[in-house]
Structure 1
Amino acid sequence: MLYPELFKSLEQVRWNMESDIPWDKYDASKLTPEQAQTIKMNAITEWSALPATEMFLRDNRGDSDFCAFMSIWFFEEQKHSLVLMEYLRRFHPELVPTEKELDNVRFEFDPAPPLETLMLHFCGEIRLNHWYRCASDWHTEPVIKHIYKIISQDEARHGGAYLRYMKKSLAEVGDVARAAFSKIGVLMASARRTEKPLHPTNLHVNQALFPNDTIQSRLPDPDWLERWLDGQIKFDGVWEKKVVDRILHNMSLLFERTFETVQDLNRYRKEVAQRLVILPGSMPSAA
């Protein structure tokens, strides 16, 4: 069971919203109204950890270890939303999200394969880590710069925890897990080929609500993410390469095989898929 160890390690580095945020360093002259509005959007987006947690608990009902870890992940992700809202409450109270705006991003996700979902959120943590690091560089107001740096570090640690559960899955179900992880890895490392950023909050998750079934589509400004990335924080090809390289690096560690390009990972995916093909009169191997 990984939960006790993860609880201990994450508890040791947990930050305090009152003592670890330099609230007294706020400089109003270094925050524009445009920047303040993006903080509101991120605060609402982070609130979507609530429906994501409900999905994880439902779809991983048979895995008490992982569900217990959700108590940590959910707490820390909701704190991200809370600290951004606290920033607005102190310095831009007119922009604090309403309860209705927060409720709007809580909706039921369709059931999905747990292994694919785990990998999707692992890649999502890597991407968020880089988005928030880039956002910290873009801002000039010192308090929000510090906040984004802190929550980016949380996202990196969450990615590391997800990776531990992925390794556990490899030991338990072998190629079934390898196939799921490599498939989603190829998808999430190919974001430069798509028009929209690939992240769990921007993917369709409820067929009955389509097209209003992404977190981003339910924000007060559904188009803000692309504008934030492309026109404001300038999350360009250099930053995107960092995300892809990080995904490939972790896949190399996970599968004990070097992947320098997405094509390398895709070739591995095909190899694993071929091993899982059921031949007449035989059963697929679980390892």
Structure 2
Amino acid sequence: MSTMLYPELYKSLESVRWNMEKDIPWDRFDASRLTDEQAMTVKMNAITEWAALPATEMFLRDNAHDSDFSAFMSIWFFEEQKHSLVLMEYLQRFRPDFAPSEAELHAVRFPFDPAPPLETLMLHFCGEVRLNHWYRRASEWHTEPVIKFIYETIARDEARHGGAYLRYMKKALVQCGDIARAAFAKIGVLMASARRTDKPLHPTNLHVNRTLFPRDTVQSRLPDPGWLEHWLDEQILFNDDWEKKVIERILHNLSLLFERTFATVQELNRYRKTIVARLNPGDAAKQPALA
């Protein structure tokens, strides 16, 4: 019988949790090193992080069968909302004219269509990996010391969240076997193929509600729906070298998870096809090529 992960994850994440008043060096703020352009990106990230609210509602709905994972959501939701809060606190202290309004925050709270829980789990694991790299790059791009520190801090949180999701993926392999392998490999191929797409592959940039299309992504409901691409391409310069780091981390973790080595997305896709063939003998030839 599987052991619940929530109690252990609570202890480990609690032991490294940072305090917004004591651990952020607010007194190091240097107004001369913060531009309007930079402050606007902080606002947009604060609103994007607020989307943990509808994501949590989705997770709890689609994982009603899994009390262990649902309990973990209490940690994930708290820490993700704290990311939004610390970014807003930064703006309230130093550039209140850029602080998001309640209406701007509420605009990203909308229902997500039901989705397969295992695929969603893998999607958000990849999202945490990607966000860790985005925030690390954002910290390098910013010139003001306090916001650099904040982005470094929340980047570490995202890495820890990815590690927690990975624990639940390992648990799912024990419980669901090839069904979990197929789900994780499918999303892994998609999320590690970002260089082939026109838009950043992150949960907040994916369509999640058919009835609201095309305004059914988190990014589409921001004050500037095109900000993410501009932030990545023109501001923090998230280039192919950084994208390669994301892909390598996804492939590395799936290699550990599946206990085999995937050096490329193509190798992962071949593995996916073998799992699909095992689950659906005779149907493998009908599977679409994802890479």
Give matches, 1:32-111, under 5 Å.
Answer: 32-111=35-114
Q: CA RMSD in A?
A: 0.9
CA shift digits 1:50-90 (9 cap, x unpaired): 00000000000010000000000000000000000000000
AA aligned opposite 1:41: M
Q: 1:232 aligns with which of 232, 235, 238?
A: 235
Displacement of 1:173 in angstroms is: 0.7
Q: What is the rounded CA distance, in whole Å, between the counterparts of 2:89 and 2:160 in structure 1?
A: 23
Which secondary structure state, in structure 1, belongs to the residue aligned with residue 70 of structure 2?
Answer: helix
Which secondary structure state, in structure 1, belongs to the residue aligned with residue 111 of structure 2?
Answer: coil
Aligned residue number for residue 176 of structure 2: 173
Displacement of 1:187 in angstroms is: 0.1
Moved over 4 A (4+): none
CA shift digits 1:196-245 (9 cap, x unpaired): 00000000000000000000000000000000000000000000000000
CA shift digits 1:107-152 (9 cap, x unpaired): 0000000000000000000000000000000001000000000000
AA aligned opposite 1:157: R
AA aligned opposite 2:46: A
Q: What is the rounded CA distance, in whole Å, between the counterparts of 1:224 and 1:63 in structure 2?
A: 36
CA shift digits 1:218-276 (9 cap, x unpaired): 00000000000000000000000000000000000000000000001000000100000
Matched residue count: 280
User: If the length of structure 1 is used for normalisation, what is the TM-score?
Assistant: 0.97
Aligned residue number for residue 130 of structure 1: 133
Structure 2: which 5+ runs fail to align? 284-291
Aligned residue number for residue 7 of structure 1: 10
Which secondary structure state, in structure 1, belongs to the residue aligned with residue 124 of structure 2?
Answer: helix
Q: What is the rounded CA distance, in whole Å, between the counterparts of 1:116 and 1:151 in structure 2?
A: 25
AA aligned opposite 1:154: D
Displacement of 1:40 in angstroms is: 0.1
Which secondary structure state, in structure 1, belongs to the residue aligned with residue 156 of structure 2?
Answer: helix
Q: What is the rounded CA distance, in whole Å, between the counterparts of 1:31 and 1:193 in structure 2?
A: 34
Aligned residue number for residue 286 of structure 2: none
Give percent identity, aligned residues only: 78
> Do residues 147 (structure 1) and 150 (structure 2) align?
yes
Aligned residue number for residue 261 of structure 1: 264
Q: What is the rounded CA distance, in whole Å, between the counterparts of 1:28 and 1:236 in structure 2?
A: 28
Q: What is the rounded CA distance, in whole Å, between the counterparts of 1:133 and 1:276 in structure 2?
A: 39
AA aligned opposite 1:60: N
Q: What is the rounded CA distance, in whole Å, between the counterparts of 1:199 and 1:12 in structure 2?
A: 28
Give matches, 1:203-242, under 5 Å.
Answer: 203-242=206-245
Structure 1: which 5+ runs fail to align? 281-287
Displacement of 1:278 in angstroms is: 4.9
Which secondary structure state, in structure 2, belongs to the residue aligned with residue 196 of structure 1?
Answer: coil
User: If the length of structure 2 is used for normalisation, what is the TM-score?
Assistant: 0.95
Q: 1:246 aligns with which of 227, 245, 249?
A: 249
Which secondary structure state, in structure 2, belongs to the residue aligned with residue 6 of structure 1?
Answer: helix
Which secondary structure state, in structure 1, belongs to the residue aligned with residue 27 of structure 2?
Answer: helix
Aligned residue number for residue 116 of structure 2: 113
Displacement of 1:279 in angstroms is: 6.7
Q: What is the rounded CA distance, in whole Å, between the counterparts of 2:263 and 2:246 in structure 1?
A: 13
Q: 2:197 aligns with which of 191, 194, 198?
A: 194
CA shift digits 1:170-211 (9 cap, x unpaired): 000100000000000000000000010000000000000000
Q: What is the rounded CA distance, in whole Å, between the counterparts of 1:84 and 1:140 in structure 2?
A: 16
Aligned residue number for residue 283 of structure 1: none
Which secondary structure state, in structure 2, belongs to the residue aligned with residue 105 of structure 1?
Answer: coil
Which secondary structure state, in structure 2, belongs to the residue aligned with residue 108 of structure 1?
Answer: coil
